[in-house]
Each structure stands twice: as C-alpha cells, then as structure tokens.
C-alpha cells in the first residue's frame, strides 16, 4: 500500500482553562439542553468530516465563536485546518465502525492509503470531556507508530463541540489573525500577477478588434461558440468580474477614445478586505508602468514606487 502523506501536528494559541470555560460554556448550563449525541460520537463525526474536507459538516462541530471565524477563513485555510485534525494532507473517504471494545473508529481512505483513527473512552465531566485518539496506518499492526492525541470537547447549547487538540485550546479567532498575516504576501503576489494578466488580455483584445474593451466583462469566456468582441475568452470568469483571490480590480479607459493603438487605460488592484486579504494597492498607469503602495485599501497612483 502507498505510504500515507502525513502532515505535522497542529499548533494553536494556548489560553487558560478558566478563560475557556468562561468563553465556551453558556450561562444556561444550570438548565442544559438535551444532548443528542455523546462527545465520542460528535468527535467521530467531526473527524469524518475533516477526512473528506467537508466544510459544511465540519463547521457543525465548532463552537459558535470558532464557527464564525472558520467561515471568515480563506478556502485554503479552512482546508488546512481540517487536514491537521486527521494529520493527513489528502482528502479521503471516511467510513465509521467500532472496534471489538465498541469504541468508535474512523477509517479515512485516501489515494495514498488508509488511516485508522480510533477513539478511546471519554473522560466526561459535566460540560467538558477529554477523549484520547490513536491515528495509525490501517495496514500497520505496529501500534508504536501511532500518533496519540488528546481531544477536548465542550457542551454548547446541548451539543458537543471541539474544544482543544492536545492541551492547547482551539481558538480560531486568534488563529484567524495569524493565518491572515501569513497569507498576505502570497495574496499580494497573486494580485500582481492577476493585474499583469488583465493587461495582457486587454492588449490581446486591442490587437484582435482594433479597440479597447469597454469593460473587463468583454474578456469573459464565451458561453458557446467562438470568441467575439462581447466575450473574447481572454480571462476566466472570476477575474473578468473584477474580483479574485481577495483583491478587487478596476479598469478605466483614459479619455473618450477607445479605438486603436493610441487609446490608453489604467488598471488598479486593491485589497477587498484591507489587512486580511492584503495591504498593498497596485496601480498600472497609462504608460504601462506598475506601481505599488500601502493606501489602507484605497486605489494607488503613479506616485507610488514602481514594481520591478
């Protein structure tokens, strides 16, 4: 069997247990809602969702606070989080079963093999439970190679939610900020490359139709048939709409004339959410030079330093 592509263990921001209980536990704990499933079943299903990278199902097992942050993460960050719950880098197909002792087991079958995730007995205390988990390659009988992980669960509004991995508590709002900062540089580089791609598409349109496109939407792929001036097929749908990878793109024809080679235009790319999807604003002037600068999310100008 192919070797499983296993990733390293996750690190989360640590906060005190007292603060966690104040944050995650409801003041209504004196009147708890009925619990539909136990903590082990909830964790089993959360791991199954993580195995298949099922965002919708996985989100159900996050506390309200973490769920809100999870929704704001980029698609890549949400996938990365789910990967680290099962320590596997590839999506898989989960199957649920029970070991001879009756404890829940998740088998996550990937293209590189199958991981067996076995849950131990839950140590439940009121609204908090801790569950040991062993993760190993299903075909490997040597239990010494297993990863041993302790998951914490908390009861919120009558449902069990993931509280911690190991002894570090799951605090997605803090992790959200950390991941946003880590992704700013790649996001800005993608925006710059997209801006250049838009400029190339406009120049190709100019050569093909002897005029500038009236808007970026004219660069859309045709719904059927061959390209036309109304759908030139020079950009993907997302970029032609003016928004891609956390950036907003603006195209302006300079002057009233859009005919022929002398016609000029300007382009800009600005962060859709300043500080999260990027900080740098990019601006392509009418001469074709590209400038960059931090404008707090506003459009750049030709006074900004040029991009080499």
Q: Same domain, yes or no, for 279 and 194? A: yes
How far is the C-alpha of 11 from the C-alpha of 150, rounded, in Å? Answer: 13
Q: What is the pLDDT of residue 258?
A: 81
How large is the angle between the packed helices 75-86 and 39-51, nearest 10 degrees?
Answer: 120
Q: Same domain, yes or no, for 24 and 166? A: yes
The 10s digit of each residue's pLDDT in 8-60 is 544 443 333 333 333 444 333 443 444 457 999 999 999 999 999 999 999 99
The verdict on residue 6 lying in a domain is: no
Q: What is the pLDDT of residue 19?
A: 38
Q: What is the pLDDT of residue 256?
A: 72
The two three-digit tokens of residue 11, written as one number: 């690190």
How far is the C-alpha of 106 from the C-alpha of 297, rounded, in Å? Answer: 45
For the chain, the domain total comes to 2
| Residue 287, φ and ψ in degrees, nearest 5 | -85, -10
The verdict on residue 265 lying in a domain is: yes
Helix (H) or strand (E) segment spanning residue 239: helix 237-240
Q: With contact defined as beta carbons under 8 Å apart, do 69 and 172 qualify?
A: yes
On the question of pLDDT at 149 being above 50, the answer is yes
Residue 261's contacts (CB-CB under 8 Å, 6 or more residues apart) are 206
Q: Same domain, yes or no, for 135 and 208? A: no
Assign 293 to helix, strand or coil: strand
Q: Same domain, yes or no, for 206 and 119? A: no
How far is the C-alpha of 24 from the C-alpha of 155, rounded, in Å? Answer: 8
Q: Same domain, yes or no, for 31 and 151? A: yes
Nearest Cα to 183, choosing from 88, 73, 300? 73
The verdict on residue 141 lying in a domain is: yes
Residue 97 vs residue 6, higher pLDDT: 97
- CATH code for the domain in which residue 92 is found: 3.10.450.50
Q: What is the pLDDT of residue 168?
A: 60
The 10s digit of each residue's pLDDT in 175-214 is 666 667 777 888 999 999 999 999 999 999 999 999 999 9
Write down the pTM of the prediction: 0.51
Query: Of the spans 19-23, 29-33, 140-144, 262-266, which averages the highest pLDDT?
Result: 262-266
The 10s digit of each residue's pLDDT in 227-238 is 999 999 999 999
The 10s digit of each residue's pLDDT in 3-16 is 567 665 444 433 33
Range of the domain at 39: 17-170
Q: Same domain, yes or no, for 119 and 156? A: yes
The verdict on residue 302 lying in a domain is: no
Q: Same domain, yes or no, for 39 and 164? A: yes
On the question of pLDDT at 1 being above 60, the answer is no
């Amino acid at each position: 069997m192919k070797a499983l592509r296993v990733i390293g263990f996750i690190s989360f921001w640590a906060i005190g247990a007292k603060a966690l209980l104040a944050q995650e536990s409801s003041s209504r704990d004196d009147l708890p809602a009925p619990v539909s499933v136990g903590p082990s079943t909830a964790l089993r299903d959360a791991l199954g969702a993580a195995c298949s990278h099922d965002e919708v199902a996985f989100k159900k097992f996050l506390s309200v606070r973490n769920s809100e942050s999870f929704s704001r993460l980029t698609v890549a960050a949400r996938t990365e989080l789910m990967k680290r719950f099962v320590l596997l880098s590839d999506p898989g197909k989960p199957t649920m079963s029970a070991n001879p002792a009756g404890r829940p087991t998740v088998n996550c079958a990937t293209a590189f093999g199958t991981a067996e995730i076995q849950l131990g007995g839950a140590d439940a205390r009121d609204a908090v439970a801790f569950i040991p988990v062993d993760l190993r390659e299903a075909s490997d009988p040597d239990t010494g190679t297993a990863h041993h992980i302790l998951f914490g669960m908390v009861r919120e509004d009558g449902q069990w939610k993931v509280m911690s991995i190991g002894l570090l508590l799951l605090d997605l709002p803090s992790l959200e900020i950390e991941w946003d900062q880590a992704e700013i540089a790649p996001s800005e580089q993608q925006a710059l490359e997209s801006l250049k791609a838009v400029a190339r598409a406009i120049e190709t349109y100019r050569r093909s139709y002897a005029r500038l496109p009236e808007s970026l939407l004219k660069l859309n792929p045709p719904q059927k048939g061959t390209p036309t001036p109304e759908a030139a097929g020079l950009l993907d749908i997302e970029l032609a709409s003016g928004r891609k990878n956390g950036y907003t793109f603006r195209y302006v024809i300079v002057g009233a004339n859009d005919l022929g080679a002398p016609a000029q235009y300007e382009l800009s790319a600005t962060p859709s959410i300043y500080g999260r999807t990027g900080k740098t604003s990019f601006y392509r002037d009418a001469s074709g030079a590209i400038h960059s600068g931090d404008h707090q999310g506003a459009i750049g100008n030709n006074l900004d330093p040029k991009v080499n």
